[in-house]
Structure 1
Amino acid sequence: MTASHVTRPTLTKLAKPLRWIGAAPILALLMAMGLAFAPAGQAQELEGFWDDPFKDLQADVEQARDEGKAGVFAFFEMDECPFCHRMKTQVFTDPEVQEYIKEHFVTVSIDIEGDVMMTAPDGEQIKEKDFAFKKYRVRATPVMIFFDTEGEPALRYTGPTQSPEEFQQLMAFFASGAYKEPGMNFFKYKKQQ
C-alpha cells in the first residue's frame, strides 16, 4: 500500500497574506508624509481665489462693471481633469497671477458635470452642466471664457496655459482690450510682447 501524498499548508504560505497587515502602518505613515510634504497649492483648495460660490454670473458682471474691472473670468472644469488640476495647483496659486486676476476680474468656477443651479449672464436659471454644454459647447476641459462688462463672452481659451506667465499674458490680452483689435489673436499678441 502506498502512502497518499497529502500537502499541508506550510507556515510560510499562511503567513504570506499576513505580511501586508504589518506593512499597513508603514504605508499609512508614508502616505501621511506625502500629504504633509506636498506643496501648499496641492495640499489644499484655492482659498479665496473664486469670488462667486453661488455662480451668479449676472451679479458677477454687474460687480465687475461697478468695480471698474475688465470683466468676469469663468473657468470651466471637471473633477477628473488633470489639466484643470494643473491650472489650479501650478498656475492659479502663483502670487502674481492671484494679484493680477483679483485686480482685473471677478472669478467663477463652473463644473461642466455639475447639477448646481446657477444664473447665466442674461439672468437665466440653469444647471452648470447645461450652461457649459448647451450655451457654450464646452465638452473638454479646461476652458476659460472671459466675459466683458456687458455679459458677452469676449474671449475663449481651450486647454491649460503652459505656465503662470502665459496665463498672465492671456489675462492681459483681455484686460488691455487687445483682443478687440482687428486681426489680433492671442498668439500674435504673445509674439509682440
Structure 2
Amino acid sequence: MKQSVLIALVLVLGFGFIVFQVATTAGTAVEWQTDFAKAQNQANQQGKYLLLNFSGSDWCVWCRRLNDEVFSQPEFKTYARQHLVLAVADFPRYQHLPENLKRQNERLKATYGVKGFPTVILFNPKGEFVTQTGYQHGGAAAYVKHLKAFIEK
C-alpha cells in the first residue's frame, strides 16, 4: 500500500514538473523570421524595432555564443517579445538553405556591408537603419541595455 502511494506521488510530481517546464518554455518562446520583407512589414505594423542577426549558425563560435548567452535567455526573450521583431540572415556551411533564402541573405549582406559574423543590425519601425553591432560581453541583461541605448535615443 505504501509503495503504491509513493509511486503515485512520484508520478504526480513528475507530471507536474513536466507541465511546468513546458508552460515556462512556451511562455518565453520568440519567433525568428527568415523572410526579411515579412519581418520589416511586421515591425512597421506593430511599431516595433527590427533586429536583423547575420549569423553562421553551424560554424561561427561567436554567433553561437551570442545565441547561447543572449538570444536564448529569458531576459532577452521577454524584452524582444515586447519591443522587437527578430529576423535572421543565416550563412550555414553544413546545413542546406533554400535557394531563395540564400539569395535574400546574400543581398542583405551586400546591402548592409556585412564583413563578419555575428553582425546585428537594428532598424526603427519605419525600416530606417539605426545601428550595427554584434556580440557583446555580459549576457542578456547587458545586451538588452545595449539595445535600449539605441532605441531610447
Q: How does 1:80-95 map to 2 (within 5 A)?
A: 80-95=59-74
Pick the aligned partner of 2:51 from 34, 52, 73: 73
Given the superposition, is the C-alpha separation of residues 116 and 101 from structure 1 closer, same or farther in structure 2, using an over 3 Å criterion? farther
The CA RMSD measured in Å over matched residues stands at 2.3
Residue identity (%): 22
Q: Give the alignment partner of residue 96 of structure 1, picking from 53, 61, 75.
A: 75
> 5+ residue gaps in structure 1?
1-46, 119-124, 179-193
More helix by share: 2
The aligned runs of 1:139-150 (5 Å cut-off) are 139-150=115-126
Aligned length: 120
TM-score of the two chains, using structure 1 as the length reference: 0.55
Aligned structure 1 segments of 4 or more residues deviating by more than 4 angstroms: 113-116
Q: Which has the higher contact order (CA 8 A, sep 6+)?
A: 2
What SS does the corresponding residue of 1:117 show, helix, strand or coil? helix
Aligned to 1:170: 146
Unaligned runs of 5+ in 2: 1-27
Match of 2:100 among 94, 102, 117: 117
Report Cα offsets for 1:29-58 as digits up to 9, x if no partner: xxxxxxxxxxxxxxxxxx943331xx3322
User: Greater CA radius of gyration, 1 or 2?
Assistant: 1
